[in-house]
Amino acid sequence: MTTVDDKSVVKEYFNATGFDRWRRIYGDGEVNKVQLDIRIGHQQTIDTVLDWLKADDNLNHLTICDAGCGVGSLSIPLAEAGAKVEASDISEKMVGEAKERAESETLKGSLNLSVQDLESLRGQYHTVICLDVLIHYPQNQADAMISHLCSLSESRVILSFAPKTCFYSLLKKIGSLFPGPSKTTRAYLHKEADVIAILEKNGFQIQRQAMTKTRFYFSRILEATRSAS
């Protein structure tokens, strides 16, 4: 599959069945058991990143790029906590939902939401974050995406991805990972060593790491900062 194919399939999915599915998972309404498990796991990933950033106690001074922001699960609480957030997503439906969820006077001026694929993002941000997006792309495309995200970052990159281990590869093969009728996009696992190698090649070093693991949701979270030159 070419780059264009993967990206357009993902974009189409998140503007159609994927939008309905993920808007529900990332919401608080009724969902089935599997979706509830994924909702809980995803919230743990969001909470881990929020805890890291709040612990540094400098959110008021940070510009943050949230690439592939979905419905704003991270962008909205970050802006509420005082950061200046540029959030974007390839899916206009996801961005539309994020805008509805961010409908609040207090966020005006601190949260900007736009429809953009992360490869076309420009500018410089203190921190660049990309959660649970790389799963939609094979390693060679993920490499280019991570390098691009690094080029946008003055200081720090935070990524999450589904780790490629023997165990998760087997789960994926037998179909119990990412279950449900609307799993119409391919799910790619990434070797942690490959992700770290790309970050290091771009001048970043791992600082904090975490793993979220529920029954159906697996996400490795890495924080990397620019090495002193």
Longest dimension (CA), the chain: 50
Smallest distance, ligand SAM to C-beta of residue 15, A? 8
Per rule CB under 6 A, is residue 217 in the interface with ligand SAM? no
Per rule CB under 6 A, is residue 41 in the interface with ligand SAM? no
Smallest distance, ligand SAM to C-beta of residue 74, A? 6
For ligand SAM, which stretch binds (CB under 6 A), given 51-59, 69-77, 104-112, 189-197? Answer: 69-77
- Give CA–CA dist 139/101, Å, rounded: 32
Q: Identify whether the C-beta of residue 48 lies closer than 8 Å to the C-beta of residue 221.
A: yes
For ligand SAM, which stretch binds (CB under 6 A), given 51-59, 89-97, 162-170, 203-211? Answer: 89-97
Per rule CB under 6 A, is residue 133 in the interface with ligand SAM? yes
- Give CA–CA dist 221/186, Å, rounded: 20
Kindly tell me which residue out of 23, 38, 65, 73 binds ligand SAM, with binding defined by CB under 6 A. Answer: 73
The smaller minimum CB distance to ligand SAM, of residues 132 and 143, is found at: 132
Per rule CB under 6 A, is residue 69 in the interface with ligand SAM? yes
- Give CA–CA dist 30/35, Å, rounded: 9
Kindly tell me which residue out of 68, 87, 153, 177 binds ligand SAM, with binding defined by CB under 6 A. Answer: 68
| Token duo for residue 135 | 């799963």
Kindly tell me which residue out of 118, 195, 222, 224 binds ligand SAM, with binding defined by CB under 6 A. Answer: 118
- Give CA–CA dist 137/120, Å, rounded: 16
Smallest distance, ligand SAM to C-beta of residue 197, A? 21
Helix, coil or strand: residue 150: helix
Kindly tell me which residue out of 86, 97, 132, 143 binds ligand SAM, with binding defined by CB under 6 A. Answer: 132
- Give CA–CA dist 151/120, Å, rounded: 12
Smallest distance, ligand SAM to C-beta of residue 212, A? 11
Q: Site for ligand SAM (CB under 6 A): how many residues?
A: 21
Q: What share of the chain is helix, strand, coil (3-state, %, to 5)?
A: 45, 25, 30
Strands 218-226 and 204-213: antiparallel
Kindly tell me which residue out of 94, 107, 157, 195 binds ligand SAM, with binding defined by CB under 6 A. Answer: 94
- Give CA–CA dist 89/95, Å, rounded: 6
Q: Identify whether the C-beta of residue 131 lies closer than 8 Å to the C-beta of residue 68.
A: yes
Q: Which residues contact ligand SAM (rule: CB under 6 A)?
A: 7, 10, 14, 22, 26, 67-70, 73-74, 89-91, 94, 117-118, 131-133, 136
